[in-house]
Amino acid sequence: MFWSITDEELLTAQAGNDESLRRLFGQAVPPCVLIANSLAGRKDVADRVSTELVRRAADQIDRWRDADEASRWFMHQTIQLVRQFRKPLVPEQDVLLIGIGGPDVAEYRAMILALRKLPEQQQEAFILTHAQRWNTRLCAVAMDCSTTAVETHLAEATRQVQPLAGKHFQSLTGFLHQVHKSLPVAMPARPAMIATRMKARRSMRAIVRAFGWLMILSLIGAIVGFALLVWPHIEF
C-alpha cells in the first residue's frame, strides 16, 4: 500500500486522537492528491477531490476494520472522485506538461497528449503503473476491476503511446514518474478540524439513535395503552 499506518494507530485515530489523525491523513491524503493531479491534469479538480476525500473519510473512519482496509478505501475513493469531478483539459492546463523542459520534451509532450486522448481507464492504468508505480493488483483495487482488465487497459494504452516516444519510451515513463512525484500537494483540513467533524457526526448519530428508540418506546406505549383501554370492553 502507500502508507505505514498500523492497526493500533488507526484505532487511536478512530478514538479522535489528534496526533494519530494527523499521521493517518498526513500519509493517506498526499499520495491521493498526487494521483488526482496526474489523472485529472488539473489542480482545481485535485483540490476538490482532496476536500471531498477528507469529508468522506471523516464519515467512514469508524467503519474501517484495519489499516489495510482504510488504505484500500483511500485508493478506491480517489479514483472514483476523479471520475466524478473530471473536467475538460487543455494542454496549457495539464499539470504533467506545465514547466516541462529537457532534450526529450517533444517526445514527452507527444506521449502525454496522446495519453489524454485515450479512454479513462486506459489513462488510469498507464498513470498508476508508470507515474505512481503501483503493481497490477493495487491498480485493480483502485480502479475497481480485475487484474486482467488492468493488464488489458495498460497494454492498449502502451500500444497507443509508445510509438510516439520511440526508443525513449522507458526513460520518458521514468520522467513521468519524476514529474508526478514533484507535483505540489496540500492538506485540505487540519486534523483538529477532522476530529471536530468526527465528534459532531458521532453526536448526531447518537441523537438519531436515541430518537429512534424513543419513537419505538412511544409506539409500544401507545399500543399497550390502547390495549388496556379496549381490552375490558371486548366480549369473549
- What are the boundaries of each domain within the chain? 7-182, 191-233
Cβ contact 14:63 at 8 Å: no
pLDDT (tens digit per residue) in 85-105: 999 999 989 999 987 776 678
Whether the per-residue pLDDT at 236 is higher than 80: the answer is: no
Q: What's the one-letter identity of residue 152? A: T
pLDDT confidence of residue 40: 96
Question: Lowest mean pLDDT: which of 26-30, 131-135, 170-174?
Answer: 26-30
**Positive or negative: CA dihedral 87, 92, 98, 104:** positive
**Confidence grade of residue 179 (pLDDT, cut at 50, 70, 90):** very high
**Confidence grade of residue 5 (pLDDT, cut at 50, 70, 90):** confident
Q: Which of 1.20.140.160, 2.160.10.10, 3.30.70.360, 3.40.50.150 is the CATH number of 7-182?
A: 1.20.140.160
Cβ contact 138:72 at 8 Å: no
Q: How would you label 122-139 residue by residue, b for 16+ Cβ within 10 Å and e otherwise? A: bbbbbbbbbbbebebebb
In this prediction the pTM is 0.79
In the chain, the percentage of residues whose pLDDT exceeds 70 is 84
Whether the per-residue pLDDT at 3 is higher than 70: the answer is: no
Please state at what angle helix 67-85 crosses helix 18-40, rounded to 10 degrees: 40
Cβ contact 123:116 at 8 Å: yes
Whether the per-residue pLDDT at 172 is higher than 80: the answer is: yes
